[in-house]
Amino acid sequence: MTISKIYARIVYDSRGDPTIEVDVTTEKGKFSAIVPSGAHHNSNECLDLRDGDLSKWNGLGVTQAVHNVNDIIAPAIIKANLDVTDQESVDEFLIDLDGTPNKEKLGANAILAVSLAVAKAGAGKKGSPLYKHIADLAKLHEYPFVIPTPFFNVLNGGIHSGGELTFQEFMIVPYGAPSFFEAVRYATEIFHILRNITTEKYGATAANLGDEGGIAPSLDTANEALDLIVSAIKGAGYEDKVGIALDAAASDFYKDGKYDFNFKSKNSNPNDYLTSDQLAEFYLGLIQKYPIISLEDPFADQDWEAWVKYFPTFEGKVQIVADAITATTPEIIEKAIEKKIANVLLLKLNQIGTLTEAIDAAKIAYDAGWGVQVSHRSGETEDTTIADLAVGLRTAQVKSGAPARSERFAKYNQIIRIEDNLEQYARYAGKDFHDSNKI
């Protein structure tokens, strides 16, 4: 089955910024994909192509990316007569058509939208659910399928909120739930209690939501945030079934070789910056005091020395998740594995730009004994591809923001549907979220 039409348009993400949607039409119908966008764009990521025209969308327009799909990619792919079930050939064609190391010619957003729409068309040709098609593409053991343990970002900080809180994400992890459906129930109950106790203590505006749907109160310290979350977990009665995960996003507060906890304040004082040693000690103090089970991006993506030095200290206490430092890029992942800086890869489709490359990145991590966590972006859409990706790749971990706002719940609801449809052919990862081979 070949492609008869490819068409791109501008739609909007959860921040109200433009993004790109692509329709791929075959004999089986029309298959669409929308790409998200992150607040971080480091040099290791593929290029999210933006117009830069400040007279429209504050420079964030994607008209050039849309043009590249409609006027360059579409006619080339249709002429090449590619089979939609041969994802690897389609993605190789897109990469070659762009011809640059970071997809800067056509834009990773343009390329990814086509790649994902083709994957959905491939699943449609086979009459297969997308997660099953992804499992086939990855050549991974399927049965039982693994339903991932969700990481819910219930309290937003860092650049995802307007307060002074340094760390970006404070997450709850219902590893003790008997199913994904029940895990979501635990999370919603905890989240509602968290909003209530936060407003009681800090006022009604403290329950305002951040970029990823979590509450964004004006707090000064991580301890304040963690105390609130622990109280909410206890209030819901899930102390032994729900852990806490942190995404420090340390690159955001890395300055002059040190770490500035007041990076969002105009009164930031260099004399208060922490060394990597001091920051590591701070994390260890939090891990000792609170039920923290996962720590993402504890150090900056430039601070390889700190990652190498402190991974042995953290290992066995919490899982260490690499995001900005690896950027879903196979060559960097291999370096990270060699230097032993972490034991979990955060997998973000738009950091690398095609489904095939994302699958390859996950398999590199698996081969090294790492875990894999599929992740949304802070600028999200109603597209649910990452839900199927997490199940298809047996990642056992997924994060898509808070149990609030439909662009976040779209992914969680899709996994609920998958779990419901698979019934006895699936297992909830639960406490084995770090290693799907145990399931």
Catalytic residue numbers, as ranges: 212, 348
Distance of alpha carbon 85 from alpha carbon 2, whole angstroms: 9
Torsion of CA 401, 184, 286, 322, to 10 degrees: -50
Tokens of 208: 């305002």
Assign 3-class secondary structure to the chain: CCCCEEEEEEEECCCCCEEEEEEEEECCEEEEEECCECCCCCCCCCCCCCCCCCCCHHHCCCHHHHHHHHHHHHHHHHHHCCCCCCHHHHHHHHHHHHCCCCCCCCCHHHHHHHHHHHHHHHHHHHCCCHHHHHHHHHCCCCCCEEECEEEEEEEECHHHCCCCCCCCEEEEECCCCCCHHHHHHHHHHHHHHHHHHHHHHHCHHHHCECCCCCECCCCCCHHHHHHHHHHHHHHHCCCCCCEEEEECCHHHHEECCEECCCCCCCCCCHHHCECHHHHHHHHHHHHHHCCEEEEECCCCCCCHHHHHHHHHHHCCCCEEEECCCCCCCHHHHHHHHHHCCCCEEEECHHHHCCHHHHHHHHHHHHHCCCEEEEECCCECCCCCHHHHHHHHCCCCEEECCCCCCHHHHHHHHHHHHHHHHHHHHEEECHHHCCCHHHC
Q: Measuring CA to CA, how many Å separate 46 from each of 165, 263, 300, 326?
A: 29, 26, 19, 12
Q: How far apart are CA 53 and CA 287, in angstroms?
A: 45
**CA atoms of 84 and 90, how far apart (whole Å):** 7
